[in-house]
Amino acid sequence: MRRVGGFAAVLVLAGVLIAVWWTGRPAPTVGAQAVRALQSASPPTPASAPFGAPAVPTVAATVPTPQPVTAPRTLTLPSLGVTAAVEPTGVDERGEFAVPPSVDVVGWYRLGPGLDEPTGSVVLGGHVDSATDGPGAFRRLAELEPGDEALVTGQDGGERRYRVVAREQRPKQDLDLAPYFARDGAPRLTLFTCGGDFDSGARSYSDNVIVTAVPV
């Protein structure tokens, strides 16, 4: 009877330890409401013209030359000890974001906004790992917490600081990525990689890990 009682006590203790471990795990998604607010934010409304002023210019004006897009070149995540080169990329033959083949390099979606644009999402995507090359630059992306910093250096040599406001883990199936790649809404930085369970048959992870940060 003592042995049975001791075994039961061990089971109870194990259950308590598992419960503590489970409740201590960080939530996979935090700050989702902040992301939706950024995505739906309207650009600043121009100030109204003074009473009596013409509604449109009445003299000839020179149309300003479009400014070149500033591409990101380096991403640093200080809290994770990660620094990675950034390369411009587009879409693959399936119409999906083309992540650079090297697990150490992060891709910038060059068909979207560049740095310093007044609206839209600057999207950087990277590998979580590779069966042949091991852990990727974004292997610890799911560890970022609201308040953490992201530093992006542009092709002009200037460094931009961002503050993480949200981390989401969403199933890939039926996930609408359009809001994360949008050119409208508040200016923001979007980092994404794979997460969740790995399907060995499909050779793919079940989820996307998406981190959203705002300019500081």
Q: CA 191, CA 97: separation in Å to the nearest integer?
A: 12
What is the bridge-based pairing of β-strands 159-171 and 149-154?
antiparallel
Out of 3.40.50.970, 2.60.40.10, 3.90.550.10, 2.40.260.10, select the CATH number for domain 30-40+69-215: 2.40.260.10
Q: Which residues contact 122 (CB under 8 A, 6 or more apart)?
A: 72, 108, 112, 113, 114, 115, 152, 187, 188, 189, 190
pLDDT of amino acid 115:
97
The DSSP call for residue 144 is -
DSSP H or E run through 20: helix 2-24
End-to-end CA distance of the chain: 64
- 108 with 91: CB under 8 angstroms? no
Residues 128 and 80: beta-carbon distance below 8 Å: no
What does the alpha-carbon distance between residue 191 and residue 189 come to, in Å, rounded to a whole number?
Answer: 7
pLDDT for the residue 178? 94
In 3-state terms, what secondary structure has residue 27? coil
Element (H, E) at 23: helix 2-24
Please list the rounded mean pLDDT of every run of 10 residues in the chain (216 residues): 42 40 62 86 53 46 68 98 97 91 97 96 96 95 97 98 97 92 97 92 89 98
Per DSSP, 35 falls in state H
Token code pair at residue 80:
């994770």
CA nearest to 182, candidates 96, 89, 109: 109
Give the pLDDT of residue 51. Answer: 42
With contact defined as beta carbons under 8 Å apart, do 165 and 31 qualify? yes
Residue 173: count other Cβ atoms within 10 Å of its Cβ. Answer: 7
